[in-house]
Amino acid sequence: MNLTEEMIKQYSPCISRLCLFLCRNENDANDVFQETWIKVFRGIDTYDESRKFENWASAVCVNTFRDMCRKNARLRYAEFTDNAMMESFFDNLPDTKNEIAARDEYISLYKAIGELTVKLRIAVVLFYFSGYSEKECARILGVSPNRVKSRLFSARQSLKRNMEQ
């Protein structure tokens, strides 16, 4: 398969958003984004065309993030360094009174997601924020769908505890 400029344009927003959700810091997200595309270019010959390219590139991104977490403990516990960037994730919410309250809850939820372990955070980001199915998450993560369900359940329990505090 030949990686074209059109494919890069098409999938870069998805990979960029995934990097931001995982890293929670624009500088680290840029590093993961660049390293992901380098790995995609180098490994394009190993891409199995029976698989969706977006899922494969997302798996490369997640693995790149994991590698960087192993090398840099700061990434594991990163918080947003820019509140404007965090709020940009929720810019599509309307500005009625109810939605303003919801925006505050979303921001609290997003901060709580940052307190999850890396394994749980990745599952949550892929499933809830990137819109992958449990089966797609399992394929990206290289685990069974039941393991994804278990991680999502654990994450929801942890988030519930954190949000109640």
**Residue 139 lies inside a defined structural domain of this protein:** no
102 belongs to a structural domain: no
What is the domain-level CATH number for residue 52?
Answer: 1.10.1740.10
Tally of domains in the chain:
1
Residue 56 lies in a domain: yes
**129 within some domain:** no
Q: Is residue 150 in a domain? A: no
Please tell me the predicted confidence (pLDDT) of residue 79. 52
Residue 46 domain-assigned (yes or no): yes
DSSP assignments along 55-111, one per residue = HHHHHHHHHHHHHHHHH-HHHHT---S-HHHHHHTTTTS--SHHHHHHHHHHHHHHH
| CB-based burial label for 159 (10 Å; 0-12, 13-18, 19+) | middle
Condensed to tens digits (0 to 9), the pLDDT of residues 54-103 reads 999 999 999 999 888 887 765 555 454 445 445 555 555 455 556 656 66
Selected residue with higher pLDDT from 126 and 92? 126
Render pLDDT for 2-40 as a digit per residue (tens, 0 to 9): 667 788 889 999 999 899 888 877 888 999 999 999 999
Does 14 fall in a domain?
Answer: yes
pTM of the model: 0.73
In whole angstroms, give the CA distance from residue 28 to residue 100.
29
Note down the domain range covering 44: 1-78
Q: Is residue 157 part of a domain?
A: no
